[in-house]
Amino acid sequence: MAIERTFSIIKPDATARNVTGAINAMIEKSGLRIVAQKRLRMTREQAETFYAVHRQRPFFGELVEFMTSGPVVVQVLEGDNAVAAYRDLMGATDPAKATPGTIRKTLAKSIGENSVHGSDAADTADKEIAQFFSGNEIVG
Ligand code: CMP
């Protein structure tokens, strides 16, 4: 299996409920390694750039408002097939449809406030990681 990196965000609904440690425990229990991590408040510009692919969606404004509403924890996760492995661990975008035991089924509130983000593909992961981390901040 290929060792890969993916980008993760612990979203404002999760930092507000003080469950960043609970999420990190689920990540580490799954075998993924947190090789970079920082807590920050996204600017509107950062959120709009990050979610640019969703600019035309009806929920874009709401998404940017939410992602700038409080602190987030941005992370780089490393492991076997990390992109797919983290998507499995997160569960479906809508927590109501997520499989039991996943982060979103366990912790998330709604499709908008769904506690975590994970990259959808390896090339997206590279771009998302580069938006928030420089090379020497990632230590595997
Ligand atoms: P994420 O994986 O961060 O990528 C895009 C986000 O848009 C997604 O998680 C959801 O939080 C959000 N999203 C997707 N669909 C909707 C929706 N119908 N209403 C509000 N937010 C949505």
Measured in Å, residue 71 CA sits from the centre of ligand 1 at 18
pLDDT tens digits, 71-106: 999 999 999 999 999 999 999 999 999 999 999 999
- Token duo for residue 92: 């479906």
CB 112 within 8 A of CB 66: yes
pLDDT digits (tens, 9 = 90+) for 8-44: 999 999 999 999 999 999 999 999 999 999 999 999 9
Tokens of 47: 């959120």
101: left (phi over 0), alpha (psi -120 to 50) or beta: left
Which residues line ligand 1 at a C-beta cut-off of 6 Å?
A: 54, 59, 62-63, 93, 111-112, 114, 117
Task: Give the residue whose CA is nearest to atom 12 of ligand 1.
Answer: 112
43 C-alpha to center of ligand 1: Å? Answer: 18
74 burial type by CB count under 10 A (0-12 exposed, 13-18 middle, 19+ buried): buried
Catalytic site residue from 104, 117, 118, 119: 117
> Six-digit token pair at 31?
């075998």
Residue 11 token pair:
């979203």
Report residue 125 as tokens: 């992961």
Cα 83 to chain center, whole Å? 11
Beta bridge partners of 113: none
- pLDDT of 1 over the 80 cut: no
Residue with the smallest CA separation from ligand 1 atom 21 is 112
- CA pair distance 121, 66, nearest whole angstrom: 23
Catalytic annotation present for 117:
yes
